[in-house]
Amino acid sequence: MLNIEIIPCLNDNYSYLIHDESANIVAIIDPADFDTCEKRIIKKYNKLDYILNTHHHLDHVGGNQKLKDKFKSKVLGFELDKHRIPGIDITLKEKQNFKIGNTFFEVIYIPGHTKGHIAFYSKDEKLVFSGDTLFSLGCGKIFEGTHEQMFKSLNKLKSLPSDTKIYCGHEYTKKNLEFCLKYDPNNEFLKRKINWIESKIKSNTPTIPVSIDEEKKTNIFLRCNEPAIKIALGLDSTSEQEIFSKLRDLKDSF
Ligand code: ZN
Ligand code: FE
């Protein structure tokens, strides 16, 4: 059994502290900032066995080196990014299985936001750490990859079991909601989430995690084949992937 603690860092980042109870092993996903993460680690477990990174951006690896120095942790990251993940010790390959204590994880390769972006998926725990690829009601900006790669990566995540919980890298849900509502205004599932999201944000509570099922019903980037969305864009005979590209571009200037 895995305990998961959400650590809000910097402006809107989420780092995740995970604890495999049966083996008493502690790991952190994407430590954005040393001070914030260190405090929580000391208070809760006073040890850190592993540091896992979804991608190389500073707001995800910023705490790596100092945490590693302090707790003698091992850093895990994708092999393609070994030259730009600070302190990396163990390189991971696409589809590789590894264990945190007694909990199995699989590496899902999801390029687009960056060329070496990965997600950490646990089938048994029914959860995925999606970094900056899939957000609640949104998806990451395409910095290094292509629109096609991002589209494929999102489809990989979309095809996970529908009760899989998504733990993403940022609290962008409210802004993402506004974008979804603009181009999918008659979506009843989306409308039903408005009050819930607003109350969470007001009380400073994360809107994370959300399930794959929920996202398939509400996240516009996972709904590019919906006729209503194609019509709203005035592109009703366009392919799903082109709709995705159009939406991603529109979101960049939203
Ligand atoms: Zn990023
Ligand atoms: Fe980020």
Pairing of the two strands 127-131 and 165-168: parallel
Q: Is the pLDDT of residue 208 over 90?
A: yes
Residue 175 clears pLDDT 90, i.e. is over it: yes
Helix (H, G, I), strand (E, B) or coil at 38: helix
Q: Is 28 left (phi over 0), alpha (psi -120 to 50) or beta?
A: beta
How large is the average pLDDT for residues 155-163?
Answer: 98
Residue 177 has pLDDT above 90, yes or no: yes
Biggest distance spanned by C-alpha atoms of the chain: 57
- Mean pLDDT computed over 219-229: 96
Rounded CA-CA distance 214/196 in Å is: 13
131 Cα to the center of ligand 1, angstroms: 7
Q: How far apart are CA 17 and CA 44, in angstroms?
A: 10
Asked if residue 96 has pLDDT above 90, the reply is yes
Q: What is the pLDDT of residue 148?
A: 98
Model pLDDT, residue 237: 87
Residue 219 has pLDDT above 90, yes or no: yes
Q: Which residues are catalytic?
A: 55, 57, 59-60, 113, 132, 170
**What is the 195 CA–ligand 2 centroid distance (Å)?**
26
Task: Give residue 22 CA to ligand 2 midpoint distance, Å.
Answer: 31
**Pairwise CA distance, residues 234 & 245, whole Å:** 14
For residues 208-232, give the mean pLDDT: 97
Over residues 98-155, the pLDDT tens digits come to: 999 999 999 999 999 999 999 999 999 999 999 999 999 999 999 999 999 999 999 9
Predicted confidence (pLDDT) at residue 236 exceeds the cutoff of 90:
no
Angle, alpha carbons 112-17-164 (nearest 5°): 55
**221: its two tokens:** 């980037």
